[in-house]
């Protein structure tokens, strides 16, 4: 756990999503995200990959839709992990990255369609989740 999150003694504890060992193994074996989405529909990681692929291919609306699914599936997972709507979601914890990447992808696609209010809300959410996440995703 990073010092940044340890210092937050008065705020909510960080949320750590559970490992998705089957998803990670299938991706490492070379399975395509599009083939895994129906098998693992709750995986934000799968939806984030699909959002990134669609965006790279110039399919902004599809990217937005994939990212929106990843975002909402991630919120469901966060709530099951004890998250109460606020508090750190550390990037350094690998299983959190699918949600954070979906959140980032949603903001990126929202910016591409000039959804300014959503872009601002997502930037604030991403920054409050982990101030280092955006730079890590963009790296």
82 is in which domain, residue-wise?
Answer: 32-138
Please state the separation of Cα 95 from the chain's center in Å: 9
**Can you tell me the mean pLDDT for 77-92?**
96
**Would you state the torsion angle of the CA atoms of residues 48, 51, 56, 59, taken in this order, to the nearest 10 degrees?**
180
Q: Domain tally for the chain?
A: 1
- pLDDT cut 90: percent of the chain above it: 91
In a domain, 114, yes or no: yes
Q: Is 11 exposed, middle or buried (0-12, 13-18, 19+ CB in 10 A)?
A: exposed
Whether residue 113 lies inside any domain: the answer is: yes
Convert 29-84 into a string of H (helix), E (strand) and C (coil). Answer: CCCCHHHHCCCCCCCHHHHHHHHHHHHHCCCHHHHHHHHHHHHHHHHHHHHHCCCC
Looking at residue 105, its pLDDT comes to: 98
- Give tens-digit pLDDT for 48-71: 999 999 999 999 999 999 999 999
* Domain annotation covers residue 16: no
Residue 40 within any structural domain of the chain? yes
Judge whether 37 and 47 are in contact, CB under 8 Å: yes
**Would you say residue 5 has pLDDT above 60?**
no
Please tell me the distance from the alpha carbon of residue 94 to that of residue 91, in angstroms, as a whole number: 7
Residue 91 counted as domain residue = yes
Q: With H, G, I as helix, E, B as strand and everything else as coil, classify residue 94.
A: helix
Q: Percentage of the chain with pLDDT > 70?
A: 94
Q: Is residue 80 over pLDDT 90?
A: yes
Residue 56 placed within a domain = yes
In this model, does residue 3 exceed pLDDT 90? no
Is the confidence at residue 136, as pLDDT, over 90? yes
| pLDDT recorded at residue 8 | 54
Give the separation between CA 137 and CA 105, rounded to whole angstroms: 10
11 pLDDT tier (thresholds 50, 70, 90): confident
Write out the two tokens for 11: 């705020």
Average pLDDT, stretch 4-8?
A: 52
pLDDT bracket for residue 9 (50, 70, 90)? low
Angle at alpha carbon of residue 106, lines to 104 and 109, rounded to 5°: 110
* pTM assigned to the model: 0.91
């Amino acid at each position: 756990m990073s010092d940044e999150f340890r210092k937050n003694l008065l705020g909510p504890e960080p949320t750590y999503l559970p490992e998705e060992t089957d998803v990670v193994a299938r991706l490492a074996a070379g399975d395509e995200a599009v083939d895994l989405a129906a098998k693992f529909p709750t995986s934000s990681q799968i939806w984030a990959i699909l959002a990134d692929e669609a965006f790279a291919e110039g399919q902004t609306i599809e990217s937005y839709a994939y990212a929106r699914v990843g975002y909402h599936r991630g919120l469901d997972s966060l709530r099951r992990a004890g998250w109460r709507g606020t508090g750190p979601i550390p990037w350094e914890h690998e299983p959190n990255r699918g949600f954070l990447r979906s959140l980032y992808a949603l903001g990126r696609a929202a910016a591409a369609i000039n959804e300014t209010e959503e872009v601002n809300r997502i930037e604030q959410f991403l920054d409050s989740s982990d101030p280092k996440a955006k730079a890590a995703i963009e790296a």
